[in-house]
Amino acid sequence: MQATPTAARASSVAIAAVSVYLGGWGIYYAIQDTARRAAIRSRRRKYPLQPRPAGLVPTRARSASVASTASTSEEHVEGSEELPNARVVERASPKSADVHQHMRWYGAASAIEHQSIRSRFAPLTILGRYLNPFAEWREVGAWEFLYWKVIYTPLRYPSRLVWDGGLAKDLESEEGRKKVNNVLPVKRLDRQKLWGHEEGWEVVSSDASLPPPCAKATGTTFTWIGQSTCLVQMNGVNILTDPVFSPQPIKSIFSPTRMRPPPCQIEDLIEERGRIDIVLISHNHFDHIDVSVIPKLSPETCWVVPSGVRDLLERHGVLPEQITELEWWEQSMADVEVPARNTSGTVSHVDRKVTVNAVPAMHWTGRDLLGVNRSLWNSYVVRVGGGSQDEPGLREASFFFCCDSGYSPLMFSSIGRALGPIDVAAVPIGSYMPLWHMSIQHCSPSDAVQMALDVGARQAFGTHWGTWSMSDEAWDEPPKDLGKALDEQGLSRKYFRTLPFGETVDVIIHGK
Ligand SMILES: *[C@@H]1O[C@H](CO)[C@@H](O)[C@H](O)[C@H]1NC(C)=O
Ligand SMILES: *[C@@H]1O[C@H](CO)[C@@H](O)[C@H](O)[C@H]1NC(C)=O
């Protein structure tokens, strides 16, 4: 009769341990959230800010049909007259240079306003972990995730307990397969557009003393590779974001696999130019950093990452001097030499000035339980302009790389006010269902549209969808909801697009 008291003792010890553990976390969360709210209140008092004026939208965002009710030109932008101090766009001659004047709210913060913006949305750490200093955030502990996965979804959508977005079911029928190919096409890389030469161009040597095989030193292109992985070429500088090429970001039976094959591998991007110049990392979640990619990148690649991500990169072999850690509102500048071929075909090099600004997002981080929020989450505003040489055809280009983020009107419009307008933006549009739980950390398509308008994006592309199913929406829901959100606001469908995997589009840089 020994076993019973021992078992009873063991179970009460276990219950006590679990209670202490849960109680401990409860107290921890309570302290953390109280301090966070106090910080938000005090910042709101000290640093008052204004959101984007109602009705202000970037050039070309309005759909032609809406604009045509007021004007015959698609360049006419409605709503600009509501701006307190912007010049009214002339209705009579919408094609005049003034058409861009309404954009001047973006990027027009005074020095004092800049200081307020940076202080209001400075990174916040409590007990050694980063937190979201935004009024829209509310505490999302592990319990909410458990409630979603264990109670909410199984009761509502029993079939979505292990949910692939409904893809496998669609792939069963001929019609479904057509739909998948239609909505999620995978394209071959367009080498002509990316590197100015046809497929089969011989890569002579990787020897750095020989001229590189390709040379395209001006213009801006955007290519979506999957999830948040994008290749953006700006005036010859190759920028890769959140590189993930594997079928599974974590090798586990619980982790989802890619819905479609990736359009290319990292090697395909590197061999042409010799290297990727800059990699931007938004945060350390598995679907944003694929550690197997790290050693494949050239030792000369520059990594711009949020504070706290350095260790992970160094562990995978990146040289310390190639890593720049940034916190919100910090800036890093670099001179990049890019190959340029002149009209007689000779390859030489030209200088490019690259400026990377880290800006806030509303998210969280962690690759394991202990590491939660030990590193920061960043969006970025990148500008690439010319160096010292005089190059008449060159225009500075700007890119907004949006981190996974919930929507905070004031935070996003502050980015636009401080650093906009933006030529091209990559904004996430997936992983938002159920809205009550997900949309605080992953914007819905309609939030994404607001974010693009707030930062002053002239052109936006949807990312973070169609790659891994990680939430309750169907695989094809994000582009549908995006279309609806644009229509509701009278915005052009061309303003904010989704692209096939691997398709490269030329981004038009409008007058400055
Ligand atoms: C991580 O950050 C999020 C966002 O601020 C917060 O809600 C959560 O409680 C944090 N988790 C931990 C363990 O600190
Ligand atoms: C191209 O560059 C080479 C080397 O700098 C130079 O000799 C040649 O004149 C240039 N050709 C043109 C058309 O500019």
Among 220-224, 239-243, 343-347, the range scoring the smallest mean pLDDT is 343-347
Q: Tell whether ligand 2 has an atom less than 6 A from the beta carbon of residue 346.
A: yes
Residue with tokens 């030193």: 217
Q: Whose CA is nearest to atom 6 of ligand 2?
A: 346
Q: Give me the residue spans of the domains in the chain.
A: 20-140, 175-507
Q: pLDDT at position 251, please?
A: 81
How many beta carbons lie within 10 A of that of residue 326, not counting itself?
21
Let me know how long the chain is.
512
User: What's the 340 CA to ligand 2 centre distance in angstroms?
Assistant: 11
Q: Whose CA is nearest to atom 5 of ligand 1?
A: 131
Mean pLDDT of 165-183: 94
Pocket of ligand 1 (CB under 6 A): 29, 129, 131-132, 137, 139-141, 364, 372-373
- CATH topology (fold) of 175-507: Metallo-beta-lactamase; Chain A (3.60.15)
For a ligand 2 pocket test, name from 346, 389, 390 the mutation site with the most ligand atoms within 8 angstroms of its C-beta: 346
Q: What is the tens place of the pLDDT at every residue in 282-312? A: 999 999 999 999 999 999 999 999 999 999 9
Give the C-alpha separation, 448 to 454, whole Å. 10
Q: What is the tens place of the pLDDT at every residue in 415-438? A: 999 999 999 999 999 999 999 999
- CA 370, 374, 376: angle at the middle one, nearest 5? 145
Residue with tokens 């995997």: 501
User: What's the 336 CA to ligand 2 centre distance in angstroms?
Assistant: 21
User: What's the 172 CA to ligand 2 centre distance in angstroms?
Assistant: 58
Index of the ligand 2 atom closest to the CA of residue 345: 1
Q: Tell whether ligand 2 has an atom less than 6 A from the beta carbon of residue 342.
A: yes
The answer, yes or no, to whether residue 365 has pLDDT greater than 90, is yes
Among 74-78, 293-297, 345-349, 477-481, the range scoring the smallest mean pLDDT is 74-78
Task: Kindly list the distances between the CA atom of residue 410 and the CA atoms of 53, 228, 361, in Å, as whole numbers in the listed order.
Answer: 11, 24, 11
Q: 393: burial class by Cβ within 10 Å (0-12, 13-18, 19+)?
A: exposed
Q: pLDDT at position 93, please?
A: 35
User: What's the 347 CA to ligand 2 centre distance in angstroms?
Assistant: 9
Among 124-128, 191-195, 200-204, 224-228, the range scoring the smallest mean pLDDT is 200-204
The answer, yes or no, to whether residue 95 has pLDDT greater than 50, is no
Task: Kindly list the distances between the CA atom of residue 150 and the CA atoms of 61, 140, 250, in Å, as whole numbers in the listed order.
Answer: 42, 16, 22
Contacts with 294 (C-beta within 8 Å, 6 or more apart), sequence order: 313, 316, 317, 318
User: What's the 442 CA to ligand 1 centre distance in angstroms?
Assistant: 15
Index of the ligand 1 atom closest to the CA of residue 130: 2
Q: Which amino acid is at 211?
A: P
Residue 225 confidence class, pLDDT cut points 50, 70, 90:
very high
Residue 60 confidence class, pLDDT cut points 50, 70, 90:
confident
Residue pair 124/41 in contact by the 8 Å Cβ criterion? no
User: What's the 123 CA to ligand 1 centre distance in angstroms?
Assistant: 13
pTM (two decimals): 0.89
Mean pLDDT of 200-226: 65
3-state SS string for 203-232: CCCCCCCCCCCCCCCCCEEEEEEECCEEEE
Q: pLDDT at position 483, please?
A: 98
Mean pLDDT of 164-172: 92
